[in-house]
Chains A and B, each alone.
Chain A
Amino acid sequence: MNLPQGTEQLVQELTERIRLDFHGVLPKLQLRFIPYSEWVADDPRVAPAEEEDLVCITDRASFPIHASEGTEISCSIVAAQLQDHAMDDLGRPWPSLGPEGHRLVPTPGLDDLRKACWQVKGTFRCPVGYLLGALEVFGLVE
């Protein structure tokens, strides 16, 4: 793995937080990261990049993660993509919290403190990486 300088720590934290939230629904999940320039090297449609980024590669998708803006935005981007993977595999919304008839489906994003969180606006907020750990205690997540 030949990553831009200074991104190893971001990748390490991101990978661990994502694993903690998704290991139950995407048990075979493996994330790889490559520089954007390498990702598009053979793509004639792409204009020359103004700045380097990191690209996250999963079993079925790859996408830039805005690594220069820090771990939180990268975490929210990866979690949002993987939420789609999980829902596609499960065939139903995930994560799904609360009692039948009053289900909440939080989505990843940045909260008011610019932290990557699973959120339902005005109702629920949990940092990415802590979702299952927090909710398993209360039996609130499938």
Chain B
Amino acid sequence: MLRQRALGMVAGPLLGLLCLACSATVFVGGPNQPCSPIARFANRFGVIAAQQPGPGGAVVWGVYPAVAATGFSVDVYVDGKRVDHKDQAYPPHGSVNPKDLRSGALVSIVGRAKAPGGELNYGLLCRSA
């Protein structure tokens, strides 16, 4: 909750970038998108964001849907290694342990949720400091 609030304070004023009823996950960011100090994207469906204080720090991430959604599933990868998986009823957030990171690692956060009208898909790529 603390971590979520800390991220929400930064990302909160934004809108969000998620995709409703997409046939495939839409990724925002990319290999050239730094995680540090923050990578955040928004559209009318919500916000997805990650932030890292700097080299050696954890990558803290969160998904903040602007539509009613439940049944969240998310996977987090670092350089193709899965480091976290969540299945939960509420919007997911978490942090990538610095032990799983190296400078320049590609962090991928990808997931989906059930929303009125279809499935909410979200994905974020960024490179750690």
Q: Is the CB of B83 within 8 A of A49?
A: no
Residues of B close to A88: CB separation below 8 A: 1, 4, 90
Q: A43-B75, A45-B75, A73-B99 are in contact. Are A63 and B83 (CB under 8 A)?
A: yes
The answer, yes or no, to whether A3 is at the interface (CB within 8 Å) is no
How far does the alpha carbon of A52 sit from the alpha carbon of B96 in the complex, in Å?
Answer: 19
List the count of A-B residue pairs having beta carbons below 8 Å apart.
58
Q: When each residue 88-122 of chain A gets 1 if its CB lies under 8 Å from chain B and 0 otherwise, what string results?
A: 10111100000000000100000000000000000
How far does the alpha carbon of A62 sit from the alpha carbon of B92 in the complex, in Å?
Answer: 13
Which residues between 14 and 39 of chain A lie within 8 Å of chain B, taking CB atoms? 39
How many residues belonging to A are interface residues under a CB distance threshold of 8 Å? 25
How many residues belonging to B are interface residues under a CB distance threshold of 8 Å? 25
Q: A60-B88, A62-B85 are in contact. Are A80 and B97 (CB under 8 A)?
A: yes
Q: When each residue 52-71 of chain A gets 1 if its CB lies under 8 Å from chain B and 0 otherwise, what string results?
A: 00000000111110100000
The answer, yes or no, to whether A137 is at the interface (CB within 8 Å) is no
How far does the alpha carbon of A105 sit from the alpha carbon of B97 in the complex, in Å?
Answer: 19
Partner of A46, one of B2, B4, B77, B94: B77
Q: A45-B77, A84-B94 are in contact. Are A64 and B2 (CB under 8 A)?
A: no
Q: Is the CB of B84 within 8 A of A61?
A: yes
Q: Is the CB of B80 within 8 A of A61?
A: no
Shortest distance between the CB of A103 and any CB in chain B (Å): 11
Shortest distance between the CB of A18 and any CB in chain B (Å): 16
Q: Is the CB of B85 within 8 A of A105?
A: no
The answer, yes or no, to whether A134 is at the interface (CB within 8 Å) is no
The answer, yes or no, to whether A87 is at the interface (CB within 8 Å) is yes
Q: Is the CB of B1 within 8 A of A93?
A: yes
Give the A-binding residues of B (Cβ under 8 A): 1-4, 75, 77, 79-88, 90, 93-95, 97, 99-100, 108, 110
Can you report 17 A-B residue pairs in the complex whose CB atoms are below 8 A from each other?
A45-B77, A46-B81, A46-B82, A47-B79, A49-B81, A60-B88, A61-B84, A61-B85, A61-B87, A62-B84, A63-B85, A64-B83, A73-B99, A77-B97, A80-B97, A88-B1, A90-B1
List the 4 shortest-distance A-B pairs measured between CB atoms, nearest first: A47-B80, A87-B1, A60-B88, A61-B86
Give the B-binding residues of A (Cβ under 8 A): 39-40, 43, 45-47, 49, 60-64, 66, 73, 77, 80-81, 84, 87-88, 90-93, 105
